[in-house]
């Protein structure tokens, strides 16, 4: 379909995102433009991204919006580059979060999950998921995510459930999954083990108390913030080289309040420089103490139940842990055991991410993955270059985690999740039952479910059909890139690496890990409801459009760096979209098109803008390949706004009125065509609307990505137009200084003195609103710029006396600057002691001040007398 003839414009006079975005998105989906075909031409390279699955309970927040915008840029660009590109959408079942949501709903009815029973409760959760869960999927459409909706996955759907049972069975049979009593994070409210990422550590003011164990020469002082746990102490530990306690190692001392005697052990874990150099050892309620206990074969005494209530026989039995703490301190004080009274002490306290309850370290019988060989393989894949981390400096954090990883507790005491596929027989037999296998009759299945991260660790290959040998798996695995925040580098990324390498015979799950930072407010502060600085991306989409929201986020996104945002920046991004709209509408009204070849003969302005376009294409490609989205957006922003919309559109107005109109229409169409394609992955909606109006083609999504043409580079044209820009900018600055309005016409005489700018006098006059001089012309100011002298007749337009006074004041300031800089640079002591950078800065100041003086003296001389 040909583009409309000159004057026929289908675009409204103003861009209204709400009128465009929804209909365009549904048109893309209906046309199948997001779909990927594993059976497509094998010559087309494959490119796949799996979305970090958002929680089924979640809604779009700024972190999601940034993460999804980055992925959409990558996938849209690859499609345009001719790749068979797949972006897999889906959600995570979010075990604890979802169970909490449904339990709260039940509580409104006066019910608990135990009233329903496990089967009916799980059915109720599925019902909630169908009716209320997954709102974020609709919100992803608002943002413009070009995911293949036909491949939507859920971590608890049938295909993912079979994948979970398959890998559990393999790991179990290979001796990499085991059940044991270990110390884990425990939530006394959710009544389940927690992964490390489900524990939020905040600095809190606690109470530190120093206690004396034993008596006389056999006494040792220890300090603790959790006095109640001393009821479960089974040893005191000191450093083996600490002379203060060497005589006590191997002996027993009295544990106050209990009537028990406990040994003193020597352990390298103890820091002799910290506190008294002695620590109480409570293996059942502290992870470090648990390890000391294992090394010295100490008994493990659990003194609290699963709700944090004291179970140790005695006066504290039945008290909540926080009630027991002051009671134990009071009892110790009565016995004279308090060496130092309770005093404030800042320390990190772990809280459950879901309910904010203080987490309790607890020894519990749980299922674990033996991570040693898996973690080594995950580290090797990055070390040998099979997987790259961007930015590279983040690799050190990755290695710090995988090289020191503890066995992973994978069981959760929940009802919502993948139930552990292990059955127990009547005589204590244990059997892991894989997919397609039936458990023995009468056996009982383990009541725990798997950690949510267990199923999401399979995401890069379970979403492609594993454990079956599918066309998708053969075509798209390993995936190209994983985009995620650096905050889950350890917890999710490392686990996907471990399971991907294990399940896929040593083939990594992705080639690149691209880590971005956190979205923060404009002052760099973390977004928090308590700070009152949370921004809802849907609010921005409603008011400014999805493109403006995306552009604001992407403009600040560079590898590993946090991304500050502010509402005025979103307004600026909306203005940018409007600028593109107005420029394209102007071009269409003046007959710009993309038909046929570019003209053989180009004006300087046409050659300049085409040359600059080639450089921008190259620069943007380089930045996007390096995941420097912010820098790519800056390049596109300034090229689009400053060079195309401001300079070239203005220059084209002169050419459109002359004999170069046809050539300019074609060049203007070419530049906007390529610019809109470059911008499409970042701002997909406005570019689609504009590009289809400009070209008449089906969709910008299927247009080829621009390729730089070296033959179009024209350094001469760039230099010439650069001189013209400098001339115009300087005269505009002068006009502004004189108080002349931008549209005010002023008579001027131009003397080119052989400058090549002479051929562009018409454009210069048009850009500067300069009229030709008549008989009454009398120059009141002269500006020599770029070899051209511009004489202006500003009589009646400016206050000469006020202007002379202003210039003389500026001249005095410039001369003072010269004097100061010359005195510093002439000072031998300064030159000998000052850093080179400081000396260079002063030399620059001197050169600039001298140039200012020369310009100001010229302007003063050009003013009329009086």
Provide the b/e sequence for 534-551 (b: ≥16 CB within 10 Å).
ebebbebbeebbbbbbbb
Q: Among 698, 652, 672, which residue's Cα sits nearest to residue 579?
A: 672
| Residue ranges in 155-311 assigned as alpha helix (H) | 158-173, 287-295
> Could you give phi then psi for residue 438, rounded to 5 degrees?
-110, 135
Q: In sequence order, what are the residues at sequence separation of 6 or more whose Cβ sits closer than 8 angstroms to the Cβ of residue 745?
A: 769, 770, 771
Tokens representing 108 are 């409104």
Q: Among 405, 451, 371, which residue's Cα sits nearest to residue 194?
A: 451
DSSP 8-state code for residue 760: G
Q: In sequence order, what are the residues at sequence separation of 6 or more whose Cβ sits closer than 8 angstroms to the Cβ of residue 834?
A: none
User: Which regions of 561-652 does DSSP assign to beta strands (E)?
Assistant: 563-565
Vertex 151 angle, CA 149 and 157, to 5°? 115
User: Which regions of 244-359 does DSSP assign to beta strands (E)?
Assistant: 252-255, 260-266, 278-281, 338-352
Other C-beta atoms within 10 Å of 314: how many?
12
> Whose structure tokens read 């309620």?
285
Say if CB 779 and CB 800 are below 8 A apart.
Answer: no
Other C-beta atoms within 10 Å of 444: how many?
11
Vertex 568 angle, CA 563 and 573, to 5°? 75
CA dist., res. 600 & res. 254, Å (int) = 99
Say if CB 803 and CB 738 are below 8 A apart.
Answer: yes
Enumerate the β-bridge partners of residue 430. Answer: 424
CA dist., res. 166 & res. 154, Å (int) = 17
* Residue 663: alpha-carbon gap to chain centroid: 44
Q: How many CA atoms lie within 13 A of 111 on its CB side?
A: 13
> Whose structure tokens read 């009295």?
254
Helix (H) / strand (E) containing 88: strand 84-88
> Whose structure tokens read 């503890």?
406
Q: Among 806, 790, 789, 681, which residue's Cα sits nearest to residue 739?
A: 806
Helix (H) / strand (E) containing 521: strand 519-521
CA dist., res. 844 & res. 827, Å (int) = 17
Instruction: State the helix-helix crossing angle for 17-30 and 546-554, rounded to 10 degrees.
Output: 90
Bond prior to 478 in cis (omega within 30° of 0): yes
Say if CB 507 and CB 461 are below 8 A apart.
Answer: no
CA dist., res. 600 & res. 201, Å (int) = 67
Bond prior to 467 in cis (omega within 30° of 0): yes
Tokens representing 694 are 């400009």
Helix (H) / strand (E) containing 364: strand 360-369
Helix (H) / strand (E) containing 200: strand 199-213
Q: Sheet containing 430-432: which strands, arranged edge to edge?
A: 430-432, 422-424, 444-445
Helix (H) / strand (E) containing 182: strand 177-187
Annotated ligand binding at 511? The verdict is no
> Whose structure tokens read 């103490």?
289
Q: Residues at the annotated binding site?
A: 529
Q: Which residues are annotated as a binding site for ATP?
A: 529
């Amino acid at each position: 379909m040909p583009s409309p003839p000159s004057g026929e414009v289908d675009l409204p006079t103003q861009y209204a995102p709400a009128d465009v975005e929804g209909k365009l998105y549904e048109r893309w989906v209906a046309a199948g433009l997001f779909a990927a075909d594993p059976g497509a031409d094998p010559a087309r390279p494959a490119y796949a991204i799996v979305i970090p699955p958002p929680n089924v309970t979640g809604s779009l927040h700024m972190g999601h919006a940034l993460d999804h915008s980055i992925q959409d840029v990558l996938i849209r660009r690859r499609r345009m580059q001719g790749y068979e590109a797949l972006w897999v959408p889906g959600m995570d079942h979010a075990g604890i979060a979802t169970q909490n949501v449904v339990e709260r709903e039940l509580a409104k009815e006066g019910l608990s999950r135990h009233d329903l029973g496990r089967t009916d409760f799980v059915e109720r959760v599925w019902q909630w998921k169908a009716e209320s869960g997954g709102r974020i999927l609709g919100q992803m459409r608002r943002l413009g995510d070009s995911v293949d909706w036909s491949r939507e996955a859920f971590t608890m759907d049938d295909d993912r459930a079979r994948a979970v049972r398959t890998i559990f069975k393999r790991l179990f049979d290979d001796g990499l999954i085991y059940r044991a009593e270990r110390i884990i994070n425990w939530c006394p409210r959710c009544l389940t083990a927690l992964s490390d990422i489900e524990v939020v550590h905040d600095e809190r003011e606690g109470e530190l108390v120093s206690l004396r164990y034993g008596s006389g020469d056999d006494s040792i002082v220890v300090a603790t913030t959790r006095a109640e746990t001393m009821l479960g102490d089974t040893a005191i530990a000191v450093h083996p080289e600490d002379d203060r306690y060497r005589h006590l190692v191997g002996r027993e001392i009295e544990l106050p309040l209990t009537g028990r005697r406990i040994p003193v052990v020597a352990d390298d874990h103890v820091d002799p420089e910290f506190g008294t150099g002695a620590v109480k050892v409570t293996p059942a309620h502290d992870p470090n103490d648990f390890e000391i206990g294992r090394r010295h074969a100490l008994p493990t005494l659990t003194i609290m139940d699963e709700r944090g209530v004291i179970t140790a026989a005695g006066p504290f039995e039945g008290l909540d842990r926080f009630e027991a703490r002051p009671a134990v301190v009071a009892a110790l004080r009565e016995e004279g055991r308090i060496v130092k009274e309770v005093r404030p002490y800042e320390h990190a306290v772990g809280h459950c991410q879901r309910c904010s309850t203080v987490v309790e370290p607890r020894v519990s019988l749980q299922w674990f993955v033996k991570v040693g060989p898996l973690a080594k393989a995950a580290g090797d894949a990055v070390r040998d270059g099979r997987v790259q981390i961007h930015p590279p400096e983040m690799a050190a954090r990755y290695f710090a985690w995988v090289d020191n990883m503890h066995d992973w507790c994978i069981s959760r005491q929940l009802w919502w999740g993948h139930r552990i596929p292990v059955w127990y027989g009547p005589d204590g037999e244990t059997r892991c039952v894989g997919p397609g296998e039936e458990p023995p009759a009468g056996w009982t299945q383990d009541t725990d479910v798997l950690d949510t991260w267990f199923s999401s660790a399979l995401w890069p290959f379970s979403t492609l059909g594993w454990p079956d040998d599918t066309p998708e798996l053969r075509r798209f695995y390993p995936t190209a890139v994983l985009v995620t925040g650096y905050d889950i580098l350890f917890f999710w990324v490392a686990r996907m690496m471990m399971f991907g390498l294990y399940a896929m015979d040593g083939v990594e799950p992705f080639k690149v890990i691209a880590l971005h930072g956190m979205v923060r407010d404009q002052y760099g502060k973390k977004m928090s409801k308590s700070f009152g600085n949370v921004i809802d991306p849907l609010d921005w989409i409603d008011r400014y459009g999805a493109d403006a929201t995306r552009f604001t986020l992407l403009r600040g996104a560079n590898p590993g760096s946090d991304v500050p945002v502010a509402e005025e920046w979103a307004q600026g991004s909306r203005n940018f979209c409007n600028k593109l709209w107005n420029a394209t509408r102007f071009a269409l009204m003046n007959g710009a098109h993309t038909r046929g070849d570019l003209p053989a003969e180009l004006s300087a302005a046409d050659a300049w803008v085409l040359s600059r376009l080639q450089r921008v294409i190259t620069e943007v490609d380089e930045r996007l390949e390096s995941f420097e989205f912010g820098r790519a957006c800056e390049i596109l922003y300034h090229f689009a706004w400053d060079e195309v919309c401001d300079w070239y559109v203005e220059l084209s107005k002169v050419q459109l009125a002359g004999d170069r109109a046809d050539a300019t229409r074609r060049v203007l169409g070419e530049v906007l065509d390529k610019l809109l394609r470059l911008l499409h992955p970042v701002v997909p909606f406005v570019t689609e609307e504009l590009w289809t109006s400009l070209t008449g083609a089906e969709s910008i999504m299927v247009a080829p990505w621009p390729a730089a043409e070296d033959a179009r580079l024209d350094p001469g044209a760039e230099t010439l137009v650069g001189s013209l820009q400098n001339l115009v900018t300087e005269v505009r600055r002068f006009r502004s200084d004189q108080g002349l309005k931008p549209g005010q016409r002023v008579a001027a005489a131009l003397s080119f003195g052989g400058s090549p700018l002479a051929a562009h006098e018409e454009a210069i006059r048009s850009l500067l609103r300069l009229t030709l001089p008549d008989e009454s012309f009398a120059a009141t100011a002269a500006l020599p710029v770029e070899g051209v002298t511009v004489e202006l007749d500003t009589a009646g337009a400016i206050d000469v006396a006020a202007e002379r006074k202003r210039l003389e004041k500026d001249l005095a300031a410039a001369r003072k600057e010269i004097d100061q800089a010359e005195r510093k640079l002439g000072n031998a002591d300064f030159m000998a002691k000052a850093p080179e950078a400081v000396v260079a800065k002063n030399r620059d100041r001197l050169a600039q001040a001298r140039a200012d003086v020369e310009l100001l003296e010229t302007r003063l001389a050009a003013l009329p007398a009086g």
